[in-house]
Amino acid sequence: MRSVIRAALAMAAAAPLVPAASADPLAPGAASCLACHGPGGGLPDLAALPPQAIEAALAAYRDGTRQGTVMPRLAKGFSADESRAIAESLGRTGAAGR
């Protein structure tokens, strides 16, 4: 199974015009962030942010040091590890950001 994924990943990397292949999926939860942070939503484009900045923002929303409307609630739904995985998916170098 692993090798199939690797092969598909390699293909996706070699042909950047092909849309994000199914074998290069987003971390759990990340796809739903794009319901608001997708293109044209008027919110910060997560793909323009470094993953570390997203991860830090989620941590700050989670522990209450950063204020917001929905983000403090949503950030509490993800552990630090889950948040890091999401940040890596959505940030500048992630699967959704390419």
Partner 1 sequence: MSAGPTRRRLLAGLTAATVAAPALARAAPRVVVVGGGFGGVAAARALARGGITVTLIEPATAYATCPSSNAVIAGLRPLSSITFGYDGVRRAGVTVIHDTVTAIDPAARRVRLADGGSLAYDRLVVSTGIGLRFDAIPGYDEAAAATIPHAWKAGAQTALLARQIEAMDDGGLVALTVPALPYRCPPGPYERASLIAHLLKTRKPRSKVIVLDAKDSFSKQPLFQAAWTALYPDHLEWVPLAQGGAVEAVDAAARTLRTGAGVFRPAVINVIPPQTAPALCLAAGLTNASRWCPVDPVTFESTLQPGIHVIGDAAIAGAMPKSAFAAYSQAQVCARGVTDLLEGRTPPDPRLINVCYSLAAPDYGFSIAGVYQPEWDRLVTVPGSDGLSPDDAPPEVRAREAKLGRSWYDGMTRQLFG
Find which of partner 1, ligand HEC, none residue 96 binds, CB within 5 to 8 Å per kind: none
Count CB neighbours of 48 within 10 A.
Answer: 10
Distances (CA, A) of 85 to 22, 23, 63, 89: 17, 16, 18, 6
Minimum separation from the CB atom of position 61 to partner 1 (A): 11
Minimum separation from the CB atom of position 95 to partner 1 (A): 11
Contact 89, 48 (CB under 8 A): no
Minimum separation from the CB atom of position 35 to ligand HEC (A): 5
Find which of ligand HEC, partner 1, none residue 98 binds, CB within 5 to 8 Å per kind: none
